[in-house]
Amino acid sequence: MNNSNVNEQPLVEVKHLKQYFDINTGFFKSTPLKAVDDISFSIRKGETLGLVGESGCGKTTAGRTILHLYKPTDGEILFHGSPVKTRQEIEQYRTKATMVFQDPYSSLDPRMTVADIIGEPLDVHKMYASKTERRERILELMDHVGLNSEHAARYAHEFSGGQRQRVGIARALAVNPEFIVCDEPVSALDVSIQAQVINMFDELQDKLDLTYLFIAHDLLVVRHISDRIAVMYLGKMVELADAAEIYDRPLHPYTKALISAVPVPDPNVARANQRIALTGEIPSPLHAPSGCPFHTRCPYAQDRCKESMPAFEEIEKGRFVACHRAKEINS
């Protein structure tokens, strides 16, 4: 987490981003699956924005769309205040924005050595003048993530999950990025290794002046690394605030339920905490409910919640919520 370098000009801005996939639902018939449905937020330079929500809520799709791995259905992505739209702009953007993938087992090519995996972005963007320079840069990147030079000639299958993820992080750092989308980068790792990798993300952020979008479903992990946290539900953004505010005083009913489920190490505090159990299944994004997507499981839902989608608006300074009754239920 890095608060020292927080400027007002956002590094990344996402405006009304939509990502729909056409799903074949019958004879010559397709239905749009609204994986990301009109989300807006910004990330300041040097900041970590955590993006949380249940599986299938659209977090990963949002991250990939922001990097133009998927072509956005609608909306705008700005980097340093400039739109990223044309092929040339996207190519340029990809030398400054990269991704660390969730699964270190499937995201590394088993036929390539570690040196070639880390060096691939350097090859693609022609970022070295000689073979010696390439080799030195690869060893420097390995050193950044705690791997030594003997690892360079090995293959991914010879490493543990934690080491593989370090290789994936070194590959993401190869192009000297300013912005990294971290897509559940520790969820496939043992808990003991998770802490090491998260601390490494923190250290790299301070050392290399990085900005992160950190996607996860584990709220404890997100709290540890994030400056601010955004909460998604069924393709929509429902709350965005400082990490401490989200934990100490969640305003959206869905965020309240998520926070109530986070385990607390103190048994006395845990007993006093009221777990909010949500009833009903998460609706399918193919057949999302009308109005507020959360109304089918929300204990505070009224008729207006079924009829209209609440605006995602700033109800306190730096605090955005999409709920018709947010002020009422938190007063």
Q: Looking at residue 177, what is its pLDDT?
A: 95
Give the closest residue to 10 by CA, choosing from 42, 40, 48, 39: 42
Q: Looking at residue 270, what is its pLDDT?
A: 57
Is the four-CA dihedral 137, 164, 181, 218 of positive or negative sign?
negative
Q: Looking at residue 27, what is its pLDDT?
A: 80
Q: Looking at residue 272, what is its pLDDT?
A: 62
Helices 161-173 and 131-144, axial angle in degrees (round to 10) = 130
The stretches of 145-250 forming alpha helices (DSSP H) are 161-173, 191-208, 219-225, 243-248
Q: Structurally, what CATH architecture does the domain formed by 10-96+177-330 represent?
A: 3-Layer(aba) Sandwich (3.40)
20 burial via Cβ count (<10 Å: 0-12, 13-18, 19+): middle
26 is written with which tokens? 């019958």
Is the four-CA dihedral 157, 168, 52, 228 of positive or negative sign?
positive
Q: Looking at residue 99, what is its pLDDT?
A: 94
Q: Note the maximum CA span of the chain.
A: 68
Is the four-CA dihedral 308, 314, 319, 325 of positive or negative sign?
negative
| Total-model pTM | 0.90
Residue 107 contacts residue 184 (beta carbons within 8 Å): no
Q: Residue 192 CB: number of other CB atoms within 10 A?
A: 8
Q: Looking at residue 331, what is its pLDDT?
A: 78
How far, in Å, CA of 139 to CA of 118, rounded? 9
Domain ranges, ordered by start, for the chain: 10-96+177-330, 108-176
Q: Looking at residue 125, what is its pLDDT?
A: 86
Residue 87's H or E segment, with its range, is helix 87-93
Q: Looking at residue 73, what is its pLDDT?
A: 94
**Size of the chain, expressed as the number of residues it contains:** 331
Mean pLDDT by 10-residue block, N- to C-terminus, for the chain (331 residues)?
58 95 85 91 95 90 95 95 93 93 82 92 88 92 91 88 91 94 88 89 94 91 92 94 92 91 66 68 82 90 91 92 91 78
